Amino acid sequence: MFKPARHGEVGGVSLQRSQQQKPLRSHDRLNLCAEMSYKIVNLRVRDVRFPTSLEQHGSDAMHTDPDYSAAYVVLDTDSGLKGFGLTFTLGKGTEIVLCAVKALAGLVIGKSLQEIVSNFRGFYRLLTSDGQMRWLGPEKGVIHLATAAVLNAVWDLWARAEGKPLWKLLVDMDPKQIVSCIDFRYITDVLTEEEALDILVKAQEGKKQREDQMLKEGYPAYTTSCAWLGYSDQQLKQLCSDALKSGWTRFKVKVGADLEDDIRRCRLIRKMIGPSSTLMIDANQRWDVAEAISWVSRLAEVKPLWIEEPTSPDDILGHAAISKALAPLGIGVATGEQCHNRVMFKQFLQASALQFIQIDSCRLGSVNENLAVLLMAYKFQVPVCPHAGGVGLCELVQHLILFDYICVSADLRNRMCEYVDHLHEHFTSPVVIQDAHYMPPKDPGYSCEMLEESVNRHEYPEGDIWKQEIQK
């Protein structure tokens, strides 16, 4: 059974003085309604799946039948306010994530939001460092996906309690409070707390203009939904021509299963979008290192900006070798959607193994760990181009990239956020895309809440959608 940690302790281990969270001074605190502590009294988690594989939406060279799914978390508080969070999965296995979320529930229930956010670094540690459960990770795999779902719900609750969309909650925070949410353990050799603070303080200049700019123009996006691997050439053409009409200028194509098909499909798209539009290719980990280099060299004629996930997501030195070999062709390497944690990102950066860093709102330990990666990326001057799509990933990650632009990078060169046009209708505050840009969300929260009816219909296996599928 989990024993609540005493002050200065995480998972029964006493923290070094320097790692302890300094209590926030009163002026650092946000406006959490003074008389409201928002005590979390219950955590519910549901297995929600969408049968996207039936039409090959989301298919790639390794995931040929993805059913976009979520472990969907709802936190109930004593005040009636709820927090909604999720992590993304591909169908089978979502029930395992549910088990992991349930295993973490005891660390959350009974805590007040005030208690959590006044020592968010400590709370992140509590979830990721439990003396028994960390054996399942640490900070990777199913337990980390579950951590993301739970923490996403906590951040959603916090933003709702403040009456702000999450990006605005972050933008309005004092830089000291931002760094107080980050666990710097294992990354201080490249980024110390002081350096992080320095980056954030320097970026205060021009913040207001950048916020206004985002509210007016939105954040640039690219689309992946024209060219899933399982789509026919006919479908590709139709979707690409529709996207061009709607103002899209940046496109990603799935590759990696068959070289001749890739050449044909990429030529087709390049021809349709013209030389000045941007094309990216994504192999979803299909190749070995040498194979990746030779395959992508054959596709160099279509001038891809990047090759995404050319090989195993764990092979940092392999990515470095591919980056080096493809640099003369003007092709960068992008990865991150399956990068476990900030430590791996640190090494990718140290090894110059990627030229585009793809954070993921549900793979890393929520906002807390993503903040660490955004700051490391800034230090190494590597552009962040978040992974999105799936179910809910666009809704979530738009908040993080808005924060990145307004408060960290202040730069839009070579930067764009992924977009796919699936399943937004199931959310209470779906993303708003205008002229191929993400428009900043206005509703309070982290945009994770799904429509109750959608959850009921898609819950696995009892929902109507799945009952019908099972009967077929």
Residue closest to 290 by CA, chosen among 337, 326, 258, 333: 326
Judged by beta carbon distances under 5 to 8 A according to partner kind, the member of ligand LFC, Mg ion, none in contact with residue 111 is: none
Q: Report the residue from 130, 337, 369, 449 that binds ligand LFC according to the rule CB under 6 A.
A: 337
Instruction: Identify whether 254 is a catalytic site residue.
Output: yes
All residues at 6 or more sequence positions from 365 whose CB lies less than 8 Å from its CB, including other chains: 124, 127, 128, 139, 144, 147, 148, 151, 341
Which residue is associated with the tokens 């490249």?
190
Q: What DSSP state is assigned to residue 39?
A: B
Q: Burial-class residue 303 by CB neighbours within 10 Å (0-12, 13-18, 19+).
A: middle
Q: Smallest distance from the beta carbon of 338 to ligand LFC, in angstroms?
A: 8
Q: Binding segment for ligand LFC among 60-68, 70-78, 137-145, 157-165 (CB under 6 A)?
A: 60-68
Q: Does 60 bind ligand LFC (CB under 6 A)?
A: yes
Residues that bind ligand LFC (rule: CB under 6 A) add up to a total of 13
Q: Does 262 bind ligand LFC (CB under 6 A)?
A: no
Nearest to ligand LFC of 43, 384 (CB atom):
384
Judged by beta carbon distances under 5 to 8 A according to partner kind, the member of ligand LFC, Mg ion, none in contact with residue 60 is: ligand LFC
Residue nearest to ligand LFC (CB): 58
Residues that bind Mg ion (rule: CB under 5 A) add up to a total of 2
Nearest to ligand LFC of 184, 460 (CB atom):
460
Q: Does 284 bind ligand LFC (CB under 6 A)?
A: yes
Q: Report the residue from 11, 58, 256, 318 that binds ligand LFC according to the rule CB under 6 A.
A: 58
Backbone phi and psi for residue 248, each to the nearest 5 degrees, phi listed first: -75, 140
Which residue in the list 57, 319, 387, 399 is annotated as catalytic? 387
Q: Does 285 bind ligand LFC (CB under 6 A)?
A: no
Q: Are 455 and 462 in contact (CB under 8 A)?
A: no
Instruction: Identify whether 207 is a catalytic site residue.
Output: no
Residue closest to 144 by CA, chosen among 391, 358, 309, 360: 360
Q: Smallest distance from the beta carbon of 466 to Mg ion, in angstroms?
A: 27
Q: Binding segment for ligand LFC among 41-49, 55-63, 146-154, 255-263 (CB under 6 A)?
A: 55-63
Buried b / exposed e across 316-342, counting CB within 10 Å, b at 16+? bebbbbbbebbeebebbbbbbbbbbbb
Q: Report the residue from 15, 49, 53, 66 that binds ligand LFC according to the rule CB under 6 A.
A: 66
Torsion of CA 305, 191, 148, 356, to 10 degrees: 0
CA distance 301 to 345: 30
Q: Are 317 and 351 in contact (CB under 8 A)?
A: yes
**Count of CB atoms within 10 A of residue 22's CB?**
11
Nearest to ligand LFC of 107, 253 (CB atom):
253
- Take residue 318 and report the two structure tokens written for it: 């392999």
Apex 57 CA angle, 51 and 59, nearest 5: 105
Q: Does 389 bind ligand LFC (CB under 6 A)?
A: yes
Which residue in the list 140, 164, 254, 399 is annotated as catalytic? 254
CA distance 345 to 357: 8
Nearest to ligand LFC of 168, 387 (CB atom):
387
Judged by beta carbon distances under 5 to 8 A according to partner kind, the member of Mg ion, ligand LFC, none in contact with residue 130 is: none
Q: What DSSP state is assigned to residue 19?
A: G
Q: Does 47 bind Mg ion (CB under 5 A)?
A: no
Q: Report the residue from 139, 162, 282, 369 that binds Mg ion according to the rule CB under 5 A.
A: 282
Residues that bind ligand LFC (CB under 6 A): 58, 60, 63, 66, 90, 224, 282, 284, 337, 387, 389-390, 418
**Which residues belong to the active site?**
254, 387
